[in-house]
């Protein structure tokens, strides 16, 4: 009984109270439209991982690009290898350039420019580059850190998409959508082990989205933060991002995020965003979001503008 009384006294010191209206919707760290330039990997001269870390803004004690995701650039010099480690339940790799292989628990995966693969929990991966190689790498490690947990088993089977398969599937969608007023011309990447959410992993989501030359895609919004990687684009390609729409469906006082190949920009949760291509070249963007988690929680709430 003495121990129980003692614990009651100690635990009671942690208790605090708020009037409902003052704390029901607490002010959280502000998330802005943040760019990470391609030079972070293009000008890299050593084999290394470059974290796209916004922990100071998010007020976390661990690296994070969004509250639940950490994006990185990986650069590997020709004929060198690099070890990556993550206590994440899912990891996504997109090959920006180069070719080589990666050694995992299950064996070896061979990759080249434009390939994409996603893997479940795997503490260590060794990447070998036949030529100078770069990756866009996104994990849900911040989610694990926030929950103060470590994955103990694999939540899904790995999945691989070749550059050829992505290109061919995107072409099919474009042909099917010709002459139709489609908000997006893209393919959602999915995994057979995620039939309910139809996402690439149980927590992460990716869209391989083409923005045809001299076109625009109407505004939409969702409750997951997007970490957008620009695969290809010409000058005059950009995204407009803002909190509100006017009566015509146009974004009010938008922030402009220009597309440049190899660049990443953050699109905040709940903000309207529209894509614009004023160039004569098709453009492709690859957003990675924690929309697998939001879809499962039924909180994604994707909405489309009726404007234009």
* Tens digits of residue pLDDT in 32-50: 999 999 999 999 999 999 9
For 2, 82, 215, 273, 305, the CA distances from 245, given in Å and listed in that order, are 61, 46, 20, 10, 8
SS3 257: strand
Residue 71 has phi, psi (to 5 degrees) of -100, 150
* pLDDT exceeds 90 at position 54: yes
Average pLDDT over residues 210-222: 94
Percentage above 70 pLDDT, the chain: 97
Residue 104 has pLDDT above 60, yes or no: yes
**What's the alpha-carbon Rg for the chain, to the nearest Å?**
21
Q: Which of 84, 302, 103 is nearest to 207 (CA)?
A: 302
Question: Is the overall model pTM greater than 0.85, yes or no?
Answer: yes
In percent, how much of the chain has pLDDT > 90? 90
Report how far apart the first and last C-alpha atoms of the chain are (Å, whole number): 70
pLDDT at residue 306, rounded to an integer: 79
Does residue 236 carry a pLDDT above 60?
yes
Q: What is the pLDDT of residue 6?
A: 85
Query: What pLDDT is recorded for position 64?
Result: 98
What stretch of H or E contains 200? none
- Which tens digits make up the pLDDT trace of 247-267? 988 999 999 999 999 999 999
Q: Residue 1: pLDDT above 80? A: no
Q: Strand, helix or coil at 9? A: helix
pLDDT above 60 for 161:
yes
> Model confidence at 281, in pLDDT bands (50, 70, 90)?
very high
> What pLDDT does 119 receive?
97
259: its two tokens: 């597309």
Contacts (Cβ under 8 Å, ≥6 apart) of 301: 222, 223
φ, ψ at 199 (rounded to 5°): -115, 170
DSSP codes joined into one string, 18-30 = --HHHHSSPPPPP
CA distances from 35 to 226, 255, 269, 273 (A): 12, 12, 15, 15
CB 259, CB 285: distance < 8 Å: yes
Average pLDDT over residues 167-186: 84
Instruction: Provide the pLDDT for residue 123.
Output: 86
Is residue 3 scored above 70 in pLDDT?
A: no
Q: Give the chain's mean pLDDT.
A: 95
Residue identified by tokens 């949760």 is 269
Question: What gap in Å lies between CA 235 and CA 280, rounded to an integer?
Answer: 9
pLDDT at 307: 59
Token pair of 216 as six digits = 């625009």
Task: For residues 173-177, give the mean pLDDT.
Answer: 88
Residues 130-146: tens digit of each pLDDT: 999 999 999 999 999 99
In this predicted structure, the answer to whether residue 2 has a pLDDT above a threshold of 70 is: no
* CA distances in angstroms from 194 to 117, 131, 137, 191, 205, listed in the order given: 15, 34, 20, 5, 11
> Would you call 113 exposed, middle or buried from its count of C-beta atoms within 10 A (0-12, 13-18, 19+)?
middle
Task: State residue 265's pLDDT score.
Answer: 98
Which domains, from first to last, does the chain contain?
36-160 (2.60.120.10), 162-304 (2.60.120.10)
């Amino acid at each position: 009984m003495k121990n129980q009384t003692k614990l009651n006294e100690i635990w009671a010191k942690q208790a605090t109270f708020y009037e409902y209206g003052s704390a029901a919707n607490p002010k959280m760290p502000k998330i802005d439209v943040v760019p990470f330039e391609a030079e972070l990997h293009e000008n890299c001269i050593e084999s290394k991982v470059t974290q796209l870390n916004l922990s100071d803004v998010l007020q976390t004690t661990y690296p994070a690009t969004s509250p639940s995701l950490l994006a990185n650039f990986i650069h590997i010099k020709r004929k060198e290898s690099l070890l990556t480690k993550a206590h994440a339940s899912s990891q996504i790799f997109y090959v920006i350039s180069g070719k080589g292989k990666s050694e995992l628990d299950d064996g070896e995966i061979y990759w080249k420019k434009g390939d994409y693969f996603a893997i479940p929990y795997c503490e260590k991966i060794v990447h070998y580059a036949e030529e100078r190689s770069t990756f866009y790498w996104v994990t849900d490690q911040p989610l694990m850190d926030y929950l103060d947990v470590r994955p103990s088993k694999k939540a899904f089977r790995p999945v691989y998409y070749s550059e050829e398969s992505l290109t061919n599937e995107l072409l099919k969608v474009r042909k099917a959508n010709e002459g139709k007023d489609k908000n997006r011309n893209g393919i959602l990447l999915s995994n057979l082990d995620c039939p309910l959410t139809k996402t690439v992993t149980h927590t992460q989501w990716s869209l391989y989205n083409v923005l045809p030359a001299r076109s625009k895609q109407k505004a939409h919004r969702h409750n997951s933060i997007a970490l957008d990687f620009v695969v290809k684009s010409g000058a005059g390609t950009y995204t407009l991002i803002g909190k509100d729409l006017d009566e015509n469906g146009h974004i009010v006082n938008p922030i402009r995020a220009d597309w440049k190949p190899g660049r990443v920009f953050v699109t905040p949760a709940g903000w309207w965003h529209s894509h614009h291509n004023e160039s004569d070249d098709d453009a492709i963007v690859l957003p990675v979001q924690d929309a697998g988690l939001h879809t499962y929680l039924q909180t994604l709430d994707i909405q489309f503008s009726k404007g234009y």
